Amino acid sequence: MSDSYLIKGGKPLKGEVILSGAKNVALKTIIAALIFKGDVILKNIPKINDVLDLIELIKSLGVKADFIEKNTLIINSGNLKSNRVDLQYGSKIRVSFMLFAPLLNRFGECFVPNPGGCRIGARPIDRIIKGLVALGIKVDYDPETGYYHAKIVNKPKGKYRFEKPSHTGTELLMMIGLMTDKKVVIDNIANEPEIDDLILYLNSAGASILEEKNKITINKSSELKQKESFTIMSDRNELVTYATLAVASYGDVTIGPIDENLISSFLEIMVRAGAGVEKISNYKYRFFYQGEIKPVNIETSPHPGFMTDWQPSWAILMLKANGSSVVHERVFENRFSYVEELKKLGAKIDFVKINVENPKIFYHFNHEKNKIYQQTIKIQGLAELHNAVLNIADLRAGAALACAALLANGESVINGASILERGYEDFVEKVKKLGGEIKKV
Ligand code: EPU
């Protein structure tokens, strides 16, 4: 099966991109649908590899799930018959560990493998497991099989405070809280807008979830039943990919629909970099080249900061900046798999060391004292980019490499298209519509 892109770069990209639904909402709403009674209809679900893999996984558990239109999915978990997630599926898709929630809800006990997913650091789930235990769930791990065995002894109750916020952790514990007879409080939560969308979906079906600044309270909820279909929010990560590509290619692209609150920190930094940013309507933005791109340093952080998923795209824009800039990754380790690949195109990028006073607090991953980390790169802009053969190691790096090839002179081959397509719907078609020369080979 073809798993590479052939890309001929060098053209300014122009036109319009209609955003797909957010991957990181689609996956969670599908998993949560297994807690609902009756049919669940989800709209704007992107047909991306992660979603298709998750659908295969839940079907293997007996759930019915079918697309009835291109992006409308109908799910019915009436026949959910297994409380064991198959290793083959479970290790392929990281969010499979979130199945703890619907499986415990249905069976009171389940077996879930240690998660797989993108290779962007160790990505342990220690804080999440601690949270399950704090809410009263018994969890054992068998290192020989790689499986967690979770069991509900008493209905979840009480309070858990994340030592450091976790996005999927917040979502999983919130879904566990739906089983409470009393009250569950989760503190020091992540504030990503994707979590708000999940809350909206659950509350519209009978959940009682209240979100205050850094805290979520779940009171005894009614049985979840959908009253009307739910449309998930647009993918803000996809917007950032196309917006940076538009400006870096000296082009002009309108993108939407998107809510300004989801991308405000990105818009602010684009303006600082001298990019043309115009609000066309409440839900549509135009991004265009309007002269010299200025170097702007960024540091990633959870919402409302500059998102970790955006930094590979930012590095691509900075390849075209007049000067040098720094990208400092705080959320994940190993999120620079694209650096060595970009060098093959002629990019001038180096890892640099930045002294951080208290790395244990500063970084969001579990920082170990004697381990060597590479969390910062320096990009020297305006190096001549030529063609090369590149390899994709993780999703966002994949998008960055494909975009870099679109800026480079000559024909490049990018291997690992299926990794990029875990998170980008119709990538080839969308790029072609903007005038980019790309095909699957
Ligand atoms: N972490 C731990 N222990 C835990 C939980 C998290 O050490 O128990 C660490 C992680 O390894 C990471 C940091 O804490 O270094 C933050 O992790 P978090 O749990 O917040 O991230 P996540 O839930 O694994 C989600 C998205 C990511 C997105 C981040 C940040 C999904 C499926 N994934 O990951 O999306 O970058 O939140 O918003 O929602 C992507 O789409 O490409 C992607 C990686």
Write out pLDDT tens, residues 234-274. Answer: 999 999 999 999 999 999 999 999 999 999 999 999 999 99
For ligand 1, say whether the CB of 121 is within 6 Å of any of its atoms.
Answer: yes
Write out pLDDT tens, residues 336-386. Answer: 999 999 999 999 999 999 999 999 999 999 999 999 999 999 999 999 999
For ligand 1, say whether the CB of 171 is within 6 Å of any of its atoms.
Answer: no
Query: What integer is the mean pLDDT of 279-300?
Result: 97
Catalytic residue among 51, 54, 61, 118: 118
In this prediction, what percent of the chain has a pLDDT beyond 90? 93
Closest atom of ligand 1 to CA, residue 192: 38
Active site residue 403: no
Q: What is the 3-state secondary structure (H, E, C) of the chain?
A: CCCEEEEEECCCCEEEEECCECHHHHHHHHHHHHHCECCEEEECCCCCHHHHHHHHHHHHCCCEEEEEECCEEEEECCCCCCCECCHHHHCCCHHHHHHHHHHHHHHCEEEEECCCCCCCCCCCCHHHHHHHHHCCEEEEEECCCCEEEEEECCCCCEEEECCCCCHHHHHHHHHHHCCCCCEEEEECCCCCHHHHHHHHHHHCCCCEEEEECCEEEEECCCCCECCCCEECCECHHHHHHHHHHHHHCCCEEEEECCCHHHCHHHHHHHHHCCCEEEEEECCEEEEECCCCCCCCCEEECCCCCECHHHHHHHHHHHCCCCCEEEEECCCCCCCCCHHHHHHHCCCEEEECCCCCCCHHHHCCCCCCCCCCCCCEEEEECCCCCECCEEECCCHHHHHHHHHHHHHCEEEEEEECHHHHCCCCCCHHHHHHHCCCEEEEC
Query: What integer is the mean pLDDT of 318-323?
Result: 98
Q: Compute the distance from residue 122 Cα to the ligand 1 centre, in Å.
A: 11
Q: Compute the distance from residue 118 Cα to the ligand 1 centre, in Å.
A: 10
Average pLDDT across the chain, whole number: 96
Task: Provide the pLDDT for residue 115.
Answer: 80
Tally Cβ neighbours within 10 Å of residue 395. Answer: 26
Task: Provide the pLDDT for residue 307.
Answer: 97
Task: Provide the pLDDT for residue 119.
Answer: 54
For ligand 1, say whether the CB of 128 is within 6 Å of any of its atoms.
Answer: yes
Write out pLDDT tens, residues 187-232. Answer: 999 999 999 999 999 999 999 999 998 999 999 999 999 999 999 9
Residue nearest (by alpha carbon) to ligand 1 atom 39: 24
For ligand 1, say whether the CB of 98 is within 6 Å of any of its atoms.
Answer: no
Task: Provide the pLDDT for residue 268.
Answer: 98
Please give the Cα distance from 153 to 146 (Å, whole number).
22
Closest atom of ligand 1 to CA, residue 309: 36
For ligand 1, say whether the CB of 309 is within 6 Å of any of its atoms.
Answer: yes
Nearest to 121 by CA among 94, 101, 143, 147: 94
For ligand 1, say whether the CB of 118 is within 6 Å of any of its atoms.
Answer: yes
Closest atom of ligand 1 to CA, residue 237: 41
Cβ-in-10-Å burial (0-12, 13-18, 19+) of 109 comes to: middle
Phi and psi torsions of 320, nearest 5°: -105, 10
Query: What integer is the mean pLDDT of 7-22?
Result: 98
pLDDT confidence tier of residue 47, bands split at 50, 70 and 90: very high
Closest atom of ligand 1 to CA, residue 130: 8
pLDDT confidence tier of residue 416, bands split at 50, 70 and 90: very high
Residue nearest (by alpha carbon) to ligand 1 atom 29: 167
For ligand 1, say whether the CB of 330 is within 6 Å of any of its atoms.
Answer: no
Q: Compute the distance from residue 13 Cα to the ligand 1 centre, in Å.
A: 31
For ligand 1, say whether the CB of 395 is within 6 Å of any of its atoms.
Answer: yes
For ligand 1, say whether the CB of 167 is within 6 Å of any of its atoms.
Answer: yes
Mutate which of 99, 118, 128, 167 for ligand 1 pocket (most atoms within 8 A of beta carbon)? 167
Write out pLDDT tens, residues 158-175. Answer: 999 999 999 999 999 999
Please give the Cα distance from 343 to 243 (Å, whole number).
23
- Contact (CB, 8 A) for 427 and 20: no
- Contact (CB, 8 A) for 9 and 407: yes
Task: Provide the pLDDT for residue 121.
Answer: 59
pLDDT score of 120 more than 60 = no
Residue nearest (by alpha carbon) to ligand 1 atom 32: 24
Q: Compute the distance from residue 168 Cα to the ligand 1 centre, in Å.
A: 6
Task: Provide the pLDDT for residue 122.
Answer: 60
Closest atom of ligand 1 to CA, residue 366: 7
Cβ-in-10-Å burial (0-12, 13-18, 19+) of 184 comes to: buried
pLDDT score of 18 more than 90 = yes
